[in-house]
């Protein structure tokens, strides 16, 4: 099975990272390595190595449809730290422009260009990618590593203006291209009001080779298939967005909380006046009811030392007890709705949720990652990005002289995340908690942003008047 997986990955990466099942079968039948094609089904159901977009051609017996698209997948990523700043981590130490095919510095580049370094060679061996050629590996990374490709602007893909609802027009740092075109499901074709080319966004592809620029459509399509987005719209050109998941339906709308949402009651996200909302499941097992004293519950939840929203030693006890470990209130399930994580949006988005990651010291203190004074390769921001990319991942990192593996998924079904010392096997609990924002903070942030917006409008109007005179 391992041999077949390696061969399938190599074949896919030689063919723009993807092939239809029937094409892949034909390529495997021609291989001269003696790998049996009978193992293909097992490889295709390995979610860690392969993503599939189901085809339309039906076949009897529930077999894989021959027109299904098979895409090569990996959880390997490039290290995001600057050259020389990272001692040891679970990311490849490579120049991103080298991977994208357009580094102009060559041997003079200050970032690594070698796959043969001990660090990179060890990682490739661990991920089972050691036999891929440089070109095959780079194709695999391009369609899997979210930091290599510019993000498609969601605001450009909704609204009626020439730039959709994007306020940044030509200065936007995200790609202004029809999302449905990249996903392969635009029903408007040449009549679409969104652009179907990347020419206007070429400045975002600095460091990309001409070959990769020509293949951008396939690279993006493969990326969306891997992320489970292909065939499902993140935004809709003519109406409110459709949720991709239960998590998106339970997300608090950033537009409504800031000022107003144009979709109003048709919006798939939750309209609420705070960036968090605590609810308890009613006895009917269907209806979610608001919990009282949400600010106090949120304040307790934001404190990593708190296991619940009630402290029997406190003089000012909160009237209800929400258990944060089991997420229950009087044995009924509790949920916390939230705005999107701050790592998913640029800094100008206000009232996103900033998640802080903590580890527990021997003395019981909770220390934020990257803030404890030690030489560590991870921060709250990097952990949050990795967690959102794969909530079952295990991440190896270094702090001082010690190496650790961080487990987002607890042992034997436990919900408790932990890190483990690779040498001594000791474990420390870790927690992910939001940065606390009070209702007063929300009002202050909104007033401050409104003030900046007015100053910006006034400055623009003044510039226009000077031009007219």
Residue 219 corresponds to which tokens in the numbers above?
A: 């690279």
Angle (nearest 5°) at CA 457 between 456 and 461: 120
pTM above 0.75, yes or no: no
Which residues lie across from 15 on neighbouring strands? none
Write the CB contacts of 83 (distance below 8 Å, at least 6 apart in sequence): 93, 110, 111, 112
pLDDT value at residue 438: 94
At residue 311, does pLDDT exceed 80?
A: no
Whether 439 and 452 have beta carbons less than 8 Å apart is answered as: no
Q: How many residues does the chain have?
A: 469
Q: 307: helix, coil or strand?
A: coil
Angle (nearest 5°) at CA 172 between 167 and 175: 120
Pick from 298-307, 376-385, 457-466: least confident: 457-466
pLDDT bin (cut points 50, 70, 90) of residue 357 is very high
Distance of CA 10 to the CA centre of its chain: 26
Number of H helices, E strands in the chain: 14, 16
- CA 362, CA 372: separation in Å to the nearest integer? 13
Distance of CA 314 to the CA centre of its chain: 39
Pick from 119-123, 332-336, 412-416: least confident: 412-416
Q: 265: helix, coil or strand?
A: helix
> How many CB atoms lie under 10 A from the CB of residue 99?
23
Average pLDDT, the chain: 83
> How many CB atoms lie under 10 A from the CB of residue 72?
27
pLDDT value at residue 231: 44
- CA 45, CA 51: separation in Å to the nearest integer? 8
pLDDT mean over 160-169:
87
Whether 213 and 177 have beta carbons less than 8 Å apart is answered as: no
At residue 467, does pLDDT exceed 80?
A: no
Write the CB contacts of 308 (distance below 8 Å, at least 6 apart in sequence): 300, 321, 322, 323, 324, 325
At residue 32, does pLDDT exceed 70?
A: no
Q: Which among 282, 288, 257 has a CA at the least distance from the CA of 449?
A: 257
pLDDT value at residue 302: 96
Q: Which among 23, 31, 21 has a CA at the least distance from the CA of 4?
A: 31
Q: 451: helix, coil or strand?
A: helix
Burial label, 31 (beta-carbon count in 10 A; 0-12, 13-18, 19+): middle
Distance of CA 49 to the CA centre of its chain: 18
Query: What is the dihedral sign for C-alpha 355, 421, 377, 74?
Result: negative
Q: How far is CA 50 from CA 9, 53, 78, 228, in A?
A: 8, 10, 20, 12
pLDDT: which is higher, 462 or 223: 223
Q: How far is CA 101 from CA 66, 142, 207, 224, 446, in A?
A: 33, 10, 7, 21, 43
Q: Is the domain defined by 246-344 classed in CATH 1.25.40?
A: no
> How many CB atoms lie under 10 A from the CB of residue 110?
9
pLDDT bin (cut points 50, 70, 90) of residue 161 is confident
**Which 8-state DSSP code applies to residue 232?**
S
- CA 347, CA 437: separation in Å to the nearest integer? 16
At residue 83, does pLDDT exceed 80?
A: no
Whether 374 and 367 have beta carbons less than 8 Å apart is answered as: no
């Amino acid at each position: 099975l391992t041999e077949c997986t390696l061969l399938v990955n190599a074949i896919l990466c030689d063919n723009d990272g993807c092939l239809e099942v029937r094409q892949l079968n034909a390529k495997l039948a021609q291989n001269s390595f003696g790998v049996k094609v009978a193992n293909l089904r097992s490889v295709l159901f390995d979610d860690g190595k392969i993503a599939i977009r189901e085809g339309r051609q039906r076949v009897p017996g529930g077999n894989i449809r021959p027109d299904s698209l098979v895409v090569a997948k990996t959880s390997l990523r490039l290290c995001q730290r600057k050259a020389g700043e990272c001692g040891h981590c679970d990311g490849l130490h490579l120049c991103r422009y080298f991977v994208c095919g357009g580094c102009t510095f060559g041997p003079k580049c200050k970032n690594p260009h070698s796959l043969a370094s001990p660090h990179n060679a060890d990682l490739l061996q661990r991920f089972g990618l050691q036999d891929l050629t440089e070109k095959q590996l780079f194709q695999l990374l391009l369609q899997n590593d979210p930091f290599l490709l510019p993000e498609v602007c969601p605001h450009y893909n909704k609204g009626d203006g020439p730039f959709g609802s994007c306020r940044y027009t030509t200065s936007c740092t995200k790609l202004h291209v029809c999302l449905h075109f990249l996903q392969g499901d635009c029903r408007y074709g040449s009549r679409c009001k969104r652009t179907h080319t990347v020419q206007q966004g070429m400045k975002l592809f600095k460091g990309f080779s001409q070959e990769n620029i020509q293949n951008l459509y396939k690279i993006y399509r493969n990326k969306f298939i891997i992320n489970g987005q292909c065939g499902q719209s993140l935004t809709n050109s003519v109406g409110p967005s459709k949720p991709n998941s239960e998590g998106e339906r339970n997300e608090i709308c950033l537009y409504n909380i800031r000022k107003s949402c144009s979709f109003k009651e048709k919006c798939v996200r939750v309209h609420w006046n705070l960036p968090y909302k605590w609810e308890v499941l009613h006895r009917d097992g269907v209806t979610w009811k608001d919990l009282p004293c949400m600010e106090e519950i949120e304040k307790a939840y934001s404190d990593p030392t708190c296991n619940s929203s009630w402290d029997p030693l406190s003089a000012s006890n909160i009237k209800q007890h929400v258990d944060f470990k089991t997420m229950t209130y009087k044995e009924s399930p509790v949920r916390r709705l939230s705005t999107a994580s701050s790592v998913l949006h640029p800094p100008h988005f206000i009232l996103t949720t900033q998640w802080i990651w903590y580890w527990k010291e021997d003395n019981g203190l909770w220390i934020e990652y990257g803030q404890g004074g030690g030489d560590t390769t991870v921060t709250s921001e990097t952990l949050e990005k990795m967690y959102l990319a794969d909530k079952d991942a295990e991440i190896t990192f270094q702090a001082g002289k010690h190496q650790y593996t961080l487990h987002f998924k607890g042992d034997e079904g436990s919900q408790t995340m932990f890190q483990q010392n690779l040498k001594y096997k000791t474990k420390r609990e870790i927690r992910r908690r939001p940065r606390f924002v009070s209702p007063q903070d929300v009002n202050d942030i909104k007033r401050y942003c409104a003030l900046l917006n007015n100053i910006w409008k006034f400055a623009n109007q003044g510039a226009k008047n000077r031009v007219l005179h």
